[in-house]
Copies of this chain bind each other. A is one copy, B any other.
Amino acid sequence: MRLPMSPTDSMFLLGESRDHPMHVGGLLLLQPPEGADARDVYTMLVEALDRDDQVAPLWRQRAVRSPATFLQWAWEEDPHFDVEYHVRFNALPQPGTIEELWALVSRLHASLLDRTRPLWEVHLIEGLADGRYAIYVKIHHARADGAGAMKLLRRALSTDPDETGMPAPWAVSDSAPPPKSAVGTAIGLPGALVRAARGAVSDVLAVASEAVGLVPALVGTVDRALHDRGGSLSLGAPSTILNVSIAGSRRFAARSWPLERLRLIAKAADATVNDVVLAMSSGALRAFLVEQDALPDDSLVAMVPVALRRDKESAGNGLAILMCSLATDREDARERLDRVRSSMVEGKQAMRGMSTIARLATSAVGVAPLALGVLTGNRALRRPPFNVIVSNVPGPETPLYWNGARVDALYPLSVPVDGQALNITCTSTDDEIAFGLTACARTVPGLRRLLDHLDNELLALEGAVGLGASRPA
């Protein structure tokens, strides 16, 4: 039986090329329970793999296109489904540090999925010297966006450390496709972009003629952009080395910090944790660009997906995309944080007064140029609508487990596109926040330096708000 694929989802198949794989990824680090080791986690996974019949129908479907479907993409069960093709065993070379893990995952994230099969791979990775076990999951964007992929992974996890007999992540029995996030859900950014673009070129235009409230909203958006104030539209992003055509290889690196450190800074500066995430990114990017003698005079602009509080007027999900000035033209860490904060406050206020449709529409206008570039294969825009995507997806408040093994980290890997060679995506567990950097390996060398700069900037921000001495070791 063939199920039609939505036009949006099929765009990820149509828009894909060897230099632009369109899959998202997730990396799980599992800490074996007391008295067990990584080998036991491996054994449990192999046992789960042997229960072949447990593979959910969703993961047995492949994408097909034929004259029978009028050349439209559709989903059908793979008649030759072979779970052993999809679940793969890997090992890290010595010395098995986190650096070897990033190198392997970067390479796994760079290769294209086989289109004749269901569009996913699970890589089991042994050999971390610290005793943890890693699982990297890769799913095509036509099947799930980043947020959906993370949700699928979460479904396979439990908050109960004593729960056993849990199915493999790929065996989760729900056969419904994972929900796709609306404009702005962060990790699945190209999803947001494509949907936004589609909004911009069809829905929005159709709606615009009817929605009287929309025109003032757009006017306000443009006005704020002209005066370099917060909102969903940026007219002022400078060209940087991050905003060029990209190549096929990928580099991924990530690091975690105690969430409490960011919370304390936020509290001291009357800001949000998200503001601190942005300020850290700002300082780190500034240092990274200065090092390469490539800092533009104008401030970098970040594209930030945000969740807005729901109110009566805006039913549905309260999501929007904001363009945030990162104040990279300022030398002082505290000044950068304050400017980020006010840019975000103003943008959110502007958004909050709008109806859902106006908010989606203005968000769509902001990202439309890039999204259209992705779809049309436009390589390297003359002037980027923004310089970098920084998204922060709050995670579960309690620890998660798989068959007693604690989820020590859950890193998302996103999809760099032409003109956006670097994505910064944060996720948090109950007590830590992880910064995951996905980049084009060719365009963004020295990703680890950027992690060091993030660490330095966290220290600088603590110093700037007077927390330097009291910081937990």
Residues of A within 8 A of B (CB): 18-19, 39, 42, 80, 82, 85, 88-94, 100, 103, 107, 110-112, 114-117, 124, 126-127, 247-249, 441-442, 445
Q: Which residue of B lies closest to A442 (CB)?
A: B116
| Given A85-B441, A249-B85, A441-B85: A18 and B91 interface contact (C-beta under 8 Å) | no
- Known: A115-B247, A116-B249; 20 extra A-B contacts, CB below 8 A, are A18-B18, A18-B115, A19-B116, A82-B445, A88-B107, A89-B100, A90-B93, A91-B91, A91-B94, A91-B127, A93-B124, A93-B126, A93-B127, A110-B111, A110-B114, A112-B112, A114-B249, A114-B442, A116-B248, A117-B442
Interface-central residue, A18, A85, A117, by most chain B CB under 10 Å: A18
Are B248's CB and A112's CB within 8 A? Answer: yes
| Contacting residues, chain B, for A116 (C-beta < 8 A) | 19, 247-249, 442
Can you list 23 A-B pairs, Cβ within 8 angstroms, ordered by A? A18-B18, A18-B112, A18-B115, A19-B116, A42-B94, A80-B442, A85-B441, A88-B103, A89-B100, A90-B93, A91-B91, A91-B94, A93-B127, A111-B112, A112-B112, A114-B248, A114-B442, A115-B247, A115-B248, A116-B248, A116-B249, A116-B442, A117-B442
Q: Which 10 A-B pairs have the closest CB atoms?
A: A116-B247, A91-B91, A111-B111, A89-B93, A91-B93, A114-B248, A114-B249, A18-B112, A93-B126, A116-B442
CB distance from A19 to the nearest CB of B (A): 8
CB distance from A117 to the nearest CB of B (A): 7
CB distance from A17 to the nearest CB of B (A): 9
| Contacting residues, chain B, for A115 (C-beta < 8 A) | 18-19, 247-248
A80 to B441, CA, bound (A): 11
Instruction: From B42, B111, B114, B127, give the contact of A247 (CB < 8 A).
Output: B114
A126 to B88, CA, bound (A): 17
A115 to B110, CA, bound (A): 13
A39 to B94, CA, bound (A): 10
| Contacting residues, chain B, for A89 (C-beta < 8 A) | 93, 100, 103
A248 to B117, CA, bound (A): 10
A127 to B82, CA, bound (A): 26
| Contacting residues, chain B, for A94 (C-beta < 8 A) | 39, 42, 91, 126
A112 to B100, CA, bound (A): 21
Q: Which residue of B lies closest to A111 (CB)?
A: B111
CB distance from A421 to the nearest CB of B (A): 12
| Contacting residues, chain B, for A85 (C-beta < 8 A) | 249, 441
CB distance from A342 to the nearest CB of B (A): 39
A93 to B124, CA, bound (A): 9
| Contacting residues, chain B, for A103 (C-beta < 8 A) | 88-89
Q: Which residue of B lies closest to A16 (CB)?
A: B18
| Contacting residues, chain B, for A248 (C-beta < 8 A) | 112, 114-116
| Contacting residues, chain B, for A107 (C-beta < 8 A) | 88
A91 to B93, CA, bound (A): 5
